[in-house]
Amino acid sequence: MIITYYGMSCFKAQVGDSVLAFNPISKDSDLKPSRFSSDIAVISLNDKNYNGVAQVSGGRKELFVVDGPGEYEISSTYIKGFGIREEVDKETSPARLMASKINTIYSVLFEDVNICHLGALSVPEISSEIKEELGEIDILFVPVTGGGLISASLAAKIATSLEPKIVIPVHGDERGPQAPALKAFLKETGSEDVKPVEKLTIKKKDLEIKEGEVVVLEPVV
């Protein structure tokens, strides 16, 4: 599996010809839109920074879109979405129309690897019921930037409580204005020496020896 970061909350996971997109950035965003083809698009939030479905369509197959809570099965990929209603302060949120929103946390079994994406999480805790449903997490995407989302400190606590094998912080761009948040998260997790990489290439068997390892991905330029 190859995982690539496209900024904001967008990741591409690929195994062979199968491609999964998490939260592609739309062309209406002020950020750089995501541009790649995928088979499945998983959307955590109905917001221009998360719902750029058109930006990841156009592949060999018709794009299957998952955009809310529920259970889905697409070929050999199994997806569970858990909706959380979150209240966000309009004055402090970087996306000011997100005063009240449904954020969907996803558990995605993709090529036998269980990927969890927390989406635009802003609440300080995840219920025990959802944690149980998420199961044993291989790779966790967790937002760390604060603002309208959870802080670096809360992100570290939630990541620890979920006990993933690999943690990938969702940081926007570590070379940009969110650098302090990423640095704070790395300090909280004791991972100050971790260096950013362009992509994560990993096999299922490699995950067996991992325990909360932090991997920082550089956004595609």
What pLDDT is attached to residue 96?
47
pLDDT at residue 97, as a whole number:
47
Spatial separation of the C-alpha atoms in residues 70 and 81, rounded to whole Å: 5
| Domain of 125, in residue numbers | 2-214
Question: Would residue 64 count as lying in a domain?
Answer: yes
Return the higher-pLDDT residue of 177 and 133: 133
Spatial separation of the C-alpha atoms in residues 9 and 120, rounded to whole Å: 8
Closest by CA to 9, choosing from 194, 203, 147, 145, is 145
pLDDT digits (tens, 9 = 90+) for 127-172: 999 999 999 999 999 999 888 899 999 999 999 999 999 999 998 7
For residue 221, being part of any structural domain is answered with no
197-214 residue pLDDT tens: 999 999 999 999 999 999
Region 33-58: what's the mean pLDDT?
94
pLDDT over 50 at 81, yes or no: yes
Write out the two tokens for 29.
């965003």
Q: According to the model, what pLDDT value does residue 147 have?
A: 82
For residues 192 and 118, give the distance between their C-alpha atoms in angstroms, rounded to a whole number: 23
The answer to the question of residue 12 being in a domain is: yes
Burial status of residue 71 (CB atoms within 10 A of its CB: 0-12, 13-18, 19 or more): exposed
- Let me know if residue 219 belongs to a domain: no
The answer to the question of residue 63 being in a domain is yes
Domain tally for the chain? 1
Q: What is the CATH number of the domain that holds 197?
A: 3.60.15.10
Mean of the per-residue pLDDT values for the chain?
A: 90
In a domain, 9, yes or no: yes
33 is a domain residue: yes
In a domain, 120, yes or no: yes
